[in-house]
Amino acid sequence: MKRAIIAFISASILLMAAPLAASASSVATPAGAAAPSVANAYSPLAAKWWTWALSQPAASNPLLDTTGSQCSNQQSGPTWFLAGLFSTGGSVTRSCTIPAHKDLFFPLANAFDIEPQSAHKTPAYVRAQVALAGVQAGASNLTATYDGTAVGPGIVKYEESPIFNVTLPADNVFGNPIYAGFYNMGADAGYYALIKNVLPGTHTLNFTGTLNGQTINSTYTLTVTP
């Protein structure tokens, strides 16, 4: 697959997820500060986020959704995934209804590589492809607000995922059935946020990020039901 950029958040197959939307003070690691941990509690969630995002058909994929109508697709368990945009910068506004007391997990800037099983690539190869995106040092404009209040720097973290696998459908987000099939070597690096235990009511989530010259700005109106 060819190299591709995902806004908000996206071959060898290097796929970079461009940032999600927001507005607030930057939460990027300041110059001269200690580098964030690359393996933390966000790492396995990031791998699951990519599986969730890439495995869904384009016709109903939350990455391509412009209204929020696909927000609940393939959501289960205590963590609810949110998407930005795919293969383009820009702004998106979505409305989404979710159950109360879920955790919200979403990327501000991230990049990934997936390799088909037939390519016989190694984890080291995949991680090297991800590193080409330069997410840790190159991402900027990382902001997130919840109900108008900027989330703290402890909520936005840099991570590098474990190796994951995913099956792309014929109707995939890349818009080409030739990419359909099983990919057994996938990895990502990115800045993600985790907002825990959202309470009933109407809330506004806003997040932004810039990577490799593309900026995304995403706004969610969240109706959280008891």
Which of residues 94 and 12 earns the better pLDDT score? 94
Q: Which of 107-111, 134-138, 153-157 has the lowest mean pLDDT?
A: 153-157
**Is the pLDDT assigned to residue 46 strictly greater than 90?**
yes
Q: What is the mean pLDDT of residues 98-117?
A: 96
> 158 lies in which domain range?
4-225
Q: Give the whole-angstrom CA distance, residue 66 versus residue 85.
A: 9
Q: Give the whole-angstrom CA distance, residue 86 versus residue 208.
A: 14
Q: Give the whole-angstrom CA distance, residue 116 versus residue 57.
A: 18
pLDDT band at 163 (very low <50, low <70, confident <90, very high): very high
Q: Give the whole-angstrom CA distance, residue 63 versus residue 104.
A: 16
Length of the chain: 226
| Residue corresponding to tokens 């696909």 | 70
Chain-wide mean pLDDT for the chain? 85
Q: Give the whole-angstrom CA distance, residue 79 versus residue 97.
A: 14
Is there a contact between 27 and 143 (Cβ–Cβ < 8 Å)? yes
User: What's the pLDDT tens digit per position in 22-31?
Assistant: 222 223 332 3
Tokens representing 155 are 């909520």
Q: What is the mean pLDDT of residues 22-51?
A: 61
Tokens representing 42 are 């966000």
Question: Amino acid identity, residue 208?
Answer: T
Q: What is the mean pLDDT of residues 71-93?
A: 93
Cα-based distances in Å from 23 to 148, 205, 220: 9, 9, 12
pLDDT band at 123 (very low <50, low <70, confident <90, very high): very high
**Number of domains within the chain:** 1
In this structure, what DSSP letter does residue 185 have?
E
Residue-level pLDDT at 190: 96
Which of residues 216 and 205 earns the better pLDDT score? 205
Q: Give the whole-angstrom CA distance, residue 6 versus residue 215.
A: 10
**Is the pLDDT assigned to residue 110 strictly greater than 80?**
yes
pLDDT band at 10 (very low <50, low <70, confident <90, very high): very low
**pLDDT over 70 for what percent of the chain?**
84
Residue-level pLDDT at 9: 32
pTM of the model as a whole: 0.85
**Is the pLDDT assigned to residue 45 strictly greater than 80?**
yes
Q: Give the whole-angstrom CA distance, residue 197 versus residue 68.
A: 20
Q: Where are the alpha helices (DSSP H) in 29-92?
A: 42-54
**Is the pLDDT assigned to residue 35 strictly greater than 60?**
no
**Is the pLDDT assigned to residue 20 strictly greater than 70?**
no
Q: What is the mean pLDDT of residues 144-151?
A: 96
CA atoms within 13 A on the CB side of 151: 27
Is there a contact between 196 and 103 (Cβ–Cβ < 8 Å)? yes
